Amino acid sequence: MKNKQRNIALIPAAGVGARFGASSPKQYTCIHQVPILLHTLQRLSIPEIDAIYIVLSPTDEIFTEIKIEYRDFLSSLLHQENADTHSWQFLKVGGDSRAHTVLNALTYLKNQNLIKEQDWVLVHDAVRCCLPYECLCQLIKIVHAKQEGAILAQKVMDTVKKVDKSKHIQETLNRDYLWLAQTPQMFLTKDLMHAYEQVSEINVITDEASLFETIGRPALVVSSDNRNLKITTPQDIHYAEYLLSDKDE
């Protein structure tokens, strides 16, 4: 019998959020009295995902305190720390960039025999805390059906202008072929590891899709929408507050 392909989620959370301008990493900013990172964990806590790993900086001292302060919230999730099934854990193996963080986590999980070559890995931004359930399930469904890596993305609806350094418009781009990349980005473990082995300069990799572009293996896009926003500036918090309220249920 063919080995089951599990769905393993990675949440890179080793960044400092410099653009956000807060005194602590933005994944620890609270929305409705709960840190963004925990909202993100909750969105991934569904039966279709078998395990979740939060990948922290080796010097992170905040998350341990959060685990204690929000233990009731965490115990209410389908994924519970070190549970026999549907578990989540945190790993202090984060690197200097997203790519380093993901690679370090994959290497650790492989060495600890916690992930298999045939497992699917979903890499999801720590601050995409409003991920719609239906979009996540559609991504998983399509990837398993096609046995091909894919990412969530939003089709560009506005007219897009290309400008020069002085901000003068140079041309109007054809938006029919333009999409805004989101996460999760979902690929086979063996393919991810192989892709990293093929890349000589890891620092230029901005996400998993760009990694596969570099080696000539473009991923599919699965349609998402603007609810799956990445919190980058303080202004994004207001929309996330709305989405995480009862209004979006």
CB of 81 within 8 A of CB of 88?
yes
pLDDT for position 200 = 86
- 221: β partners: 151
Structural domain of 185: 7-248
The model's pLDDT over 35-51, given as tens digits with 9 standing for 90+, comes to 999 999 999 999 999 99
Confidence of residue 22 (pLDDT cuts 50, 70, 90): low
DSSP state of 66: H
How high is the pLDDT of residue 3?
A: 72
Question: Residue 5's closest CA among 196, 130, 148, 219?
Answer: 148
Evaluate whether residue 115 is within a structural domain.
yes
% residues pLDDT > 90 (the chain): 88
Give the whole-angstrom CA distance, residue 109 versus residue 112.
5
In a domain? residue 194: yes
| pLDDT class of 16 with cuts at 50, 70, 90 | low
Which pLDDT score is estimated for 249? 43
Quick check: is 212 in a domain? yes
> For residue 209, is it within any domain?
yes
Domain count, the chain: 1
Q: Which pLDDT score is estimated for 24?
A: 74
Burial label, 65 (beta-carbon count in 10 A; 0-12, 13-18, 19+): exposed
* Residue 231, pLDDT score: 95
212: how many CB neighbours lie within 10 A of its CB?
A: 22
pLDDT at 246 over 90: no
In sequence order, what DSSP letters do the residues of 72-96 get, joined into one string? HHHHTSSSEET-SSSEEEEE----S
Q: Report d(CA 34, CA 122) in Å as an integer.
A: 23
> Over 70: is that where the pLDDT of 1 sits?
no
Has residue 216 been placed in a domain? Answer: yes
Asked whether residue 1 is assigned to any structural domain, the reply reads no
The verdict on residue 2 lying in a domain is: no
Assigned domain for 221 exists: yes
Per-residue pLDDT tens for 168-208? 999 999 999 999 999 999 999 999 999 999 998 898 899 99
Residue 70 has pLDDT above 80, yes or no: yes
The tokens for 64 are: 């341990």
**What is the per-residue pLDDT across 191-202, written as a single tens digit (0 to 9) for each?**
999 999 999 889
As separate numbers, helices (DSSP H) first and strands (DSSP E) second, the chain gives 8, 12
Q: How far apart are CA 51 and CA 43, in angstroms?
A: 13
Question: What CATH number is given to the structural domain containing 204?
Answer: 3.90.550.10
pLDDT confidence of 105, banded at 50, 70, 90?
very high
Across all residues in the chain, what is the average pLDDT? 93
CA-based max dimension of the chain: 61
> Does the pLDDT at position 248 exceed 80?
no
> Mean pLDDT, to the nearest integer, of 152-160?
97
